[in-house]
A and B are shown apart, each in its own frame.
Chain A
Amino acid sequence: MNENGEPNILAFLCNWCSYAGADLAGVSRLQMPTNFRVIRVMCSSRVDPEIILYAFKKGIDGILVLGCHPGDCHYINGNYKTERRMIMLQKLLGQFGINPKRLKLGWVSASEGARFQEIISSFAREMEELGKLELPITEVS
């Protein structure tokens, strides 16, 4: 949770499609929640599963990973690989007692500003409902 009591949301956006889409949403002045932070990556497949687990451990409540639509990946197949990882990760999160909905994968192209707005807004609402992610104390001496 941030200082306003809202969930901390992290959005990994791929350089070629989703980041441009988010940018378009911004310059089009679309209304969006403010409790998310963007990390730009060259490709959604750059988001190593270790990064996701680490972010949850460090107090992030929800993570969005957005990439190019299937077939449109700048690197041909990075997004498919991401999709397979996310499926396994969501199952793993469920086993760890973390609601798999806290991790979401989506596709946003460079021209889809409105779609970005819709995805980030509905994700923020969902995270609001889930509230703070309560992990056990995982730091050990």
Chain B
Amino acid sequence: MAEKLKFAFSWNASCGGCEIAVLDIDEIILDVLEKVDILFWPVAMDFKKSDLESYEDKSIDVGFYNGAVRTSEQEEYAHLMRKKSKVLIAFGSCAHLGGIPGLANVSNRDGIFEKAYVSTLSTVNPSRVFPEPESIVNGKKLTLPEFYDDVKALDQVVDVDYYVPGCPPPPDLIAKAIDAIIKGELPPKGSVIANEKALCEECPREKNKKKIREIKRVHEAVDDGETCLLEQGIICLGPVTRGGCGARCIKANMPCRGCFGPVDKEIDMGASMLSAIASIIDEDNLTEEEQKKLVESIEDPLGLFYRFSLPVSLLRRVTLGGGNDE
């Protein structure tokens, strides 16, 4: 029998869901384990960083990195995983796009610390103690990873070979990716392992090219369960999001929030989505003023359009301090 493939999993600025998603491939994991040895997987087995460091460079066949990069430790893991792996996969929305943790790019370290350690109602911290990279306790030096101002996607730190998108990646896609790795049938470097076309192409909802006269938030709408959500005035990021998830949110009657990221050649999800919205407003039945009001009613375009992709968007982050535009 051929030698087993060697995998490593590293978790970073993430919620842990991507790790669970790996287990969600259910019994397939047993087949996988027949062909694969896992050399590093701190969430599931007792591994230490020194284990990873002890391996020879490029001795891991495939490294899966999930989570965004926001601390010095996560940055170190990005470099370490790159060095030890032949193929490095950005696994899940956070490693691929920055993901939900990437929304922290509306603020910075000071802003986040102020909120988390001072101003939340449940916090009592009159002496304003914050996590510090180094502190002396009883004459001993304690260290913590440094918390950066900026959240990055994995490929903004190291070279990435493939992306498995999704928050979290769906089990069938994970199984497909692992199968392709085992069979040595991987697509060209840099590919996102999902569909090429936008989500709307695989969405089961009925599309009538209808223009909209209202924009409703999810809790304000009564979904008919059949027609395209966007045509019902519920903002759905399907037109600007890569397909491949099986429209799982739509099947649960929720609009797409864009976790699979942009389709090929699309540069900025927010810019594309606002174009899409501008194009479907019912001009024939609304006055110019009404049209303007309608688009003005979108309360938080940044949070809505860049829910998962702020760190990889054109502007990447909010400008704070120093600028003259505040």
Distance from B155 Cβ to chain A, minimum over Cβ atoms (Å): 9
Which of A92, A97, A98 is within 8 Å of B274, CB to CB? A92
Beta-carbon contacts of A45-84 to B below 8 Å, as 1s and 0s?
Answer: 0001110111011000000000000100000010011111
Answer yes or no: A135 CB below 8 A from chain B CBs: yes
Contact B314 A95 (CB under 8 A): no
Given contacts A85-B278, A87-B292, contact A134 B314 (CB under 8 A): no
Contact A130 B283 (CB under 8 A): no
Distance from B42 Cβ to chain A, minimum over Cβ atoms (Å): 26
Q: How long is the Cα–Cα vector from A136 to B316 in the complex, in angstroms?
A: 9
Which of B288, B305, B319 is within 8 Å of A136, CB to CB? B319
Answer yes or no: A37 CB below 8 A from chain B CBs: no
Q: How long is the Cα–Cα vector from A34 to B309 in the complex, in angstroms?
A: 38
Given contacts A53-B271, A134-B319, A134-B324, contact A87 B156 (CB under 8 A): no
Given contacts A53-B268, A53-B271, A92-B301, contact A87 B325 (CB under 8 A): no
Beta-carbon contacts of B266-291 to A below 8 Å, as 1s and 0s?
Answer: 01101110110111010100001001
Q: Is the interface of A mostly helix, strand, loop or mixed?
A: helix
Q: Which residues of B in the span 11-61 have a Cβ within 8 Å of any Cβ on A?
A: none
- A92 contacts across to B, CB distance below 8 A: 270, 274, 301-302, 305
Q: How long is the Cα–Cα vector from A41 to B291 in the complex, in angstroms?
A: 24
Q: How long is the Cα–Cα vector from A99 to B270 in the complex, in angstroms?
A: 18
Distance from A106 Cβ to chain B, minimum over Cβ atoms (Å): 15
Contact A96 B318 (CB under 8 A): yes
Number of chain B interface residues as a range: 35 or more
Contact B314 A57 (CB under 8 A): yes
A-B pair count, CB < 8 Å, reads: 113
Number of chain A interface residues as a range: 35 or more
Residue of B nearest to A99 (CB): B325
Contact B302 A50 (CB under 8 A): no
Q: How long is the Cα–Cα vector from A130 to B326 in the complex, in angstroms?
A: 10
- A83 contacts across to B, CB distance below 8 A: 288, 291-292
Residue of B nearest to A135 (CB): B319
Contact B319 A54 (CB under 8 A): no
Contact B325 A130 (CB under 8 A): yes
Answer yes or no: A140 CB below 8 A from chain B CBs: yes
Contact B326 A88 (CB under 8 A): no
Q: How long is the Cα–Cα vector from A57 to B271 in the complex, in angstroms?
A: 14
Answer yes or no: B300 CB below 8 A from chain A CBs: yes
Contact A96 B156 (CB under 8 A): no
Distance from B265 Cβ to chain A, minimum over Cβ atoms (Å): 11
Residue of A nearest to B268 (CB): A50
22 contacts between A and B (CB under 8 A): A49-B268, A49-B270, A49-B274, A49-B275, A80-B288, A81-B279, A84-B295, A85-B278, A88-B277, A89-B271, A95-B106, A95-B302, A95-B318, A96-B319, A97-B323, A102-B325, A132-B324, A133-B325, A134-B325, A136-B150, A136-B316, A140-B157
> Given A83-B291, A88-B301, A92-B302, 12 more contacts at CB 8 Å?
A49-B272, A49-B274, A77-B283, A83-B292, A88-B274, A92-B305, A96-B302, A97-B320, A97-B326, A131-B324, A134-B323, A138-B316
The 7 closest A-B pairs by CB, nearest first: A97-B319, A49-B271, A140-B156, A95-B302, A84-B278, A134-B323, A99-B325
